[in-house]
Each structure stands twice: as C-alpha cells, then as structure tokens.
C-alpha cells in the first residue's frame, strides 16, 4: 500500500470519528446513562454499555468527558434538575387545588420509581449521590407539607405527615407489594388514609367539606 492510499484511509477514519462525535452530543451520553441507571443501577452504567447503546466507539465518550466520574456527576445534575424542577413544575403548575397536587405527586412517584430507586441505592455508598437525593427530598417534602397546610393541618403536623407520605411512597417501590400491585383505587384510598383526621373525616381544602 502506497503512502498516498494510507493517508487517504487515515483521513477517512479521522473524518468518520469526527462524524460520530458530531452525531452523538454530550447530552446524548447523559441521557443514555440516565436510561441505563434506571435499568441496571449505578454499577451498570459503563462506558462500553453506553457506547453500544448509542452505536459509537468509546472514543466518542472521551471527546465529551474526561472519565466516568465526570459523566456520573453530570448524571446527578440531570436527575436533580428533572426531579426538583421540571417534573414537579409540570405536575403542579396547572392547578391550585392542594389535594389534586398531592395526587399528582403520588402519581409522579410511581412514574419515576425505577430511576428513583436506582438513585437511592447509589446514595447508600456515594456521598455525592446521597446529597443529591437529600436535596431533592427536601424540595419534595416542602411541596407536600405546603399542600397539607393548605388542607388545614398545623405546620408541625403537616411536616410529619409529609415525611410519612414520602417514606411510604419510597417504600412502595423499594419493597414491592407481594400481590398484584397497586391500583388507582388503592392509591386514592392510601391518600385518604394519609389525610384522615380524628373523627374519621378526611382533610379538605373546602371548609364546607371539613
């Protein structure tokens, strides 16, 4: 093979590598890692697995990230932003009814259960993941407690009930139901139990219903 042909092939390889890097952006690697985290947990997020998912070589990864640690930090930021900002804003922004907002938070918890479970398992052995989870939980507890205060609970009781709700919802996917799973009616009844007040009544935002 002559030097001219070798140079042409090398140029093609370089051009192909540049094309792959241009095709797969940094955000694509983060999104792929997010999906892999939900599927296989933190230890399953490997550069090889992500490259295979995206259909590129590992060289594309190192074009965007110094190492896996940098990717995982970006993944934490992605999760925290989505859970505390985007998803809650989307779920809560279109209604002022505190009971409906609680229903939406509860439904949202079921929707994000796979990624949330993976994050909590990761947080058990990684301080940076633990801090991200705690920060997100503080924001979520604030939303739940605010709804409960609007429903008539005193601040201290609202805080305790909010914590109980969060623990129960998280426990629901860390310890799955041994039967056929939760139905929509079960979810509504569970919320009624959380909102029960002495006398068998359920808290309501409407004073006429209390």
The predicted model scores a pTM of 0.75
> What are the residues facing 110 on neighbouring strands?
none
pLDDT tens, per residue, the chain with 210 residues: 554 444 434 443 444 444 454 589 999 999 999 999 999 999 999 999 999 999 999 999 999 999 999 999 999 998 888 777 766 776 677 788 999 999 988 888 888 889 999 999 999 999 999 999 998 899 889 989 999 999 999 999 999 999 999 998 888 777 766 776 666 677 788 889 889 876 555 566 554 444
Q: What is the pLDDT of residue 190?
A: 85
> Under a CB-based contact definition with an 8 Å cutoff, are residues 159 and 173 in contact?
no
Sign of CA dihedral 179, 180, 185, 187: positive
| Domain ranges within the chain, ordered by starting residue | 1-65, 71-210
> Under a CB-based contact definition with an 8 Å cutoff, are residues 114 and 62 in contact?
no
> Under a CB-based contact definition with an 8 Å cutoff, are residues 77 and 128 in contact?
no
CATH architecture of 71-210: Orthogonal Bundle (1.10)
């Amino acid at each position: 093979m002559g030097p001219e042909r070798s140079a042409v092939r090398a140029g093609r390889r370089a051009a192909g590598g540049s094309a792959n890097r241009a095709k797969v952006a940094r955000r694509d690697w983060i999104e792929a890692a997010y999906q892999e985290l939900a599927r296989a947990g933190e230890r399953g997020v490997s550069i090889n697995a992500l490259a295979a998912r995206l259909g590129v070589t590992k060289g594309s990864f190192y074009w965007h990230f110094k190492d896996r640690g940098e990717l995982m930090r970006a993944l934490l930021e992605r999760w925290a932003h989505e859970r505390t900002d985007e998803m809650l804003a989307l779920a809560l922004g279109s209604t002022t009814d505190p009971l409906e907002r609680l229903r939406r938070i509860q439904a949202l918890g079921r929707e994000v259960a796979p990624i949330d479970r993976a994050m909590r398992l990761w947080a058990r052995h990684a301080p940076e993941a633990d801090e991200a989870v705690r920060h997100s939980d503080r924001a979520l507890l604030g939303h739940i407690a605010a709804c409960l205060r609007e429903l008539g609970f005193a601040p201290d009781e609202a805080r305790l009930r909010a914590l109980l709700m969060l623990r129960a919802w998280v426990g629901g996917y860390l310890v799955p139901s041994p039967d056929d799973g939760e139905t929509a009616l079960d979810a509504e009844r569970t919320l009624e139990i959380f909102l029960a007040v002495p006398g068998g009544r359920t808290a309501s935002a409407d004073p006429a219903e209390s």
